[in-house]
A and B are shown apart, each in its own frame.
Chain A
Amino acid sequence: MLRLESLTKRYPTGDLALKGVDLEMPKGQVLALIGPSGAGKSTLVRCINRLVEPSSGKVSLDGVEVTSLGGRALRRMRRQMGMIFQEYALVERLTVMENVLSGRLGYVGFWRSYFRRFPQSDIDEAFRLLARVGLEHMVDKRADELSGGQRQRVGIARALIQDPRLLLVDEPTASLDPKTSRQIMRLICELCGERDLPAIINIHDVLLAKMFAQRIVGLQLGEIVYDGSPQGLTDEVLTQIYGEEDWSATVGKGGEEGEAEESAEHHDLPEPDRDRLAGMT
């Protein structure tokens, strides 16, 4: 079980990205984190495995406080949290297999990983996962030869081979077409179901969130403004999260027939991402 207690992040530029977020997540739950660009979704996910160092507050996974760990203990904790990235973040010049095996880096020593001598059990598991995500014929292809959907499948395999207790998913569909987005989301949710794995999926596509998540958390300017079921996302709630807009198409639908409304949903153009801007200055 994952617990966040008054998690706060202030960037060196002074931007307050998270304002005391409290959140509790039971095992096996798929949670979608929605909110406008710059609401702090990315920061929240990265504070959990401390790719971004929180300024204050606590994160604990199954009773172990992540925020107080250092060095080796932090790496041990990170290997129990699989992460799937926006734009895939595969190491482009490594092969599919090497990318998947890189999920085991937290478990093997440096020289073993350097000479690509992973234990046979890891390799078996990698083949199994690649078959599961439908890429068994691509094992020795280089990552930059793959299409977007294929890359994200590799990303999923890399996260799962870590044998994680929690999945952190950061905008998995941001650069995919609508059909592939649905396939990827379905795959992630199926795998979570198979393994009883909790997942936090940070996603800007409200329709997708409603289709696949069991619980929705709306974030606005670093604060939780909605926490409830997908059905509870009404006009008023969406307005509260994103601001004034005609939400009828988004609220009315849900489930698989939402495809036709795709274009209406894409009208809310993302503003410049505040987290990114903060990093650039």
Chain B
Amino acid sequence: MASAPRVSGGASLAGRRWRPPPLIKRRWLRWTLGLGVALYLAAAFGTIEVNWSRVYDGLPRGQAFLAAFFPPDFTSRWEEILEGINESLWMTVASTVVGIAISVPVGLGAARNIAPAPVYYFCRSIIAVSRSFQEVLLAIFFVKLFGFGPFAGFVTLSFATIGFFAKLLAEDIEDMDPTQAEAVRATGAGWFQWLNYAVQPQVLPRFIGLSLYRFDINFRESAVVGIVGGGGIGATLNTAFERYEFDSAAAILLVIIAIVMAIEYLSGYVRKWVQ
């Protein structure tokens, strides 16, 4: 690269080194973090007990195991699969509706910009408890309380929906445009009128998007709450595993994947239609 005439006055700059600025400016913090990560990884890998011989032994077994999945057998347990899927879908619909219905007041209460402090902390703690426990863990308890079957699954999913939905709704309300809210308040509107005219229009599109997304999640989770007795396709799947009917299990998994894809496609369609 020598053809073009060089700009004059640059001689003093020649030879000046350049390195890209580091991601973390403070040197001690950079080193501490790096060292911390390295130590953690060393400790983590040091304490994981991987029984490689068991893994190695398992590979041919795994192969046989996977082979048992093929070809998927849709026919011999079709009745039960159908029933399980139906149950899952009922649970999904009912729990999404109930969960969202409860989430709305909780979400309003958990938005810092519209709720008074005691309400805020109360609603936030409901959200924290609901979010901290995985659906399956909740299901164990609800099965204990309500007995086996889809009702326990329904309560589990509704409760889990609250944590997810109320949190995102609250964040959305906190992010809304305050000038619009102020303008409506300036008209002398009452609190509910204010919600209806200032808050609702701003959060509605995302609200619908989140509802569809949660519907999708609830369906997928309904496949596992059954493993601990919460009804639905999970129960069918668990039975198939217990009976070593892996070809039926494969069929169930494929049906789940197909339905999730269908829901995803539909929700994309609905979202486009809403906006």
- Residue from A97, A131, A136, A163 within 8 A of B20 (CB atoms): A97
Q: Does B4 contact A (CB under 8 A)?
A: yes
Chain B residues, CB < 8 A from A125: 1, 6
Chain A residues, CB < 8 A from B17: 120, 123
A124 to chain B, nearest CB (A): 5
- Residue from B1, B9, B21 within 8 A of A121 (CB atoms): B1
12 A-B pairs, CB-CB below 8 angstroms? A98-B20, A120-B15, A123-B17, A125-B1, A128-B10, A128-B13, A129-B7, A131-B9, A132-B7, A132-B10, A136-B13, A163-B4
A164 to chain B, nearest CB (A): 8
Q: A131-B10, A131-B13 are in contact. Are A126 and B18 (CB under 8 A)?
A: yes
Chain B residues, CB < 8 A from A163: 1, 3-4
Q: Whose C-beta in chain B lies nearest to the C-beta of A117?
A: B19
Q: Does A186 contact B (CB under 8 A)?
A: no
Q: Whose C-beta in chain B lies nearest to the C-beta of A115?
A: B20
Q: Does B39 contact A (CB under 8 A)?
A: no
Residues of chain A in range 127-152 having any CB-CB distance to chain B below 8 Å: 127-129, 131-132, 136, 139-140
A165 to chain B, nearest CB (A): 8
Taken together as a complex, chains A and B put the C-alpha atoms of A107 and B2 apart, in Å, by: 13
Please list the residues of chain B having a beta carbon within 8 angstroms of any beta carbon in chain A: 1, 3-7, 9-10, 13-21
Contact in complex: B18, A139 (CB < 8 Å)? yes
A sample of 17 more A-B contacts (CB under 8 A), given A127-B18, A139-B18, is: A95-B20, A97-B18, A98-B20, A116-B20, A120-B17, A123-B17, A124-B13, A124-B14, A125-B6, A127-B10, A127-B13, A128-B6, A128-B13, A131-B13, A140-B21, A163-B3, A195-B4
Chain B residues, CB < 8 A from A177: none
Taken together as a complex, chains A and B put the C-alpha atoms of A95 and B4 apart, in Å, by: 26
Q: Does A194 contact B (CB under 8 A)?
A: yes
Chain B residues, CB < 8 A from A140: 21
Please list the residues of chain A having a beta carbon within 8 angstroms of any beta carbon in chain B: 95, 97-98, 107, 116, 120-129, 131-132, 136, 139-140, 163, 194-195, 197
Q: Whose C-beta in chain B lies nearest to the C-beta of A123?
A: B18
Q: Whose C-beta in chain A lies nearest to the C-beta of B10?
A: A128
Taken together as a complex, chains A and B put the C-alpha atoms of A128 and B12 apart, in Å, by: 9
Contact in complex: B16, A124 (CB < 8 Å)? yes
Taken together as a complex, chains A and B put the C-alpha atoms of A127 and B10 apart, in Å, by: 8
A139 to chain B, nearest CB (A): 7
Taken together as a complex, chains A and B put the C-alpha atoms of A121 and B15 apart, in Å, by: 8
A149 to chain B, nearest CB (A): 19
Q: Whose C-beta in chain A lies nearest to the C-beta of B14?
A: A124
Chain B residues, CB < 8 A from A132: 7, 10
Chain B residues, CB < 8 A from A97: 18, 20
Contact in complex: A194, B21 (CB < 8 Å)? no
- Residue from A95, A123, A136, A194 within 8 A of B7 (CB atoms): A194
Taken together as a complex, chains A and B put the C-alpha atoms of A197 and B10 apart, in Å, by: 20
- Residue from A116, A121, A126, A129 within 8 A of B19 (CB atoms): A116
Taken together as a complex, chains A and B put the C-alpha atoms of A136 and B20 apart, in Å, by: 15
Lowest 10 A-B CB distances belong to which pairs?
Answer: A128-B10, A127-B13, A140-B21, A116-B20, A132-B7, A163-B1, A124-B14, A123-B18, A195-B4, A128-B7
Taken together as a complex, chains A and B put the C-alpha atoms of A195 and B17 apart, in Å, by: 26
Chain A residues, CB < 8 A from B10: 124, 127-128, 131-132
Which residue of B13, B17, B18 has the most chain A CB atoms within 10 A of its CB atom? B18
Q: A95-B21, A129-B7 are in contact. Are A107 and B1 (CB under 8 A)?
A: yes
Contact in complex: A194, B1 (CB < 8 Å)? no
B74 to chain A, nearest CB (A): 42
Which residue of A125, A128, A132, A194 has the most chain B CB atoms within 10 A of its CB atom? A128
Chain B residues, CB < 8 A from A107: 1
Q: Whose C-beta in chain A lies nearest to the C-beta of B9?
A: A131
Taken together as a complex, chains A and B put the C-alpha atoms of A98 and B16 apart, in Å, by: 15
Taken together as a complex, chains A and B put the C-alpha atoms of A140 and B3 apart, in Å, by: 28
Taken together as a complex, chains A and B put the C-alpha atoms of A125 and B15 apart, in Å, by: 10
Taken together as a complex, chains A and B put the C-alpha atoms of A129 and B14 apart, in Å, by: 12
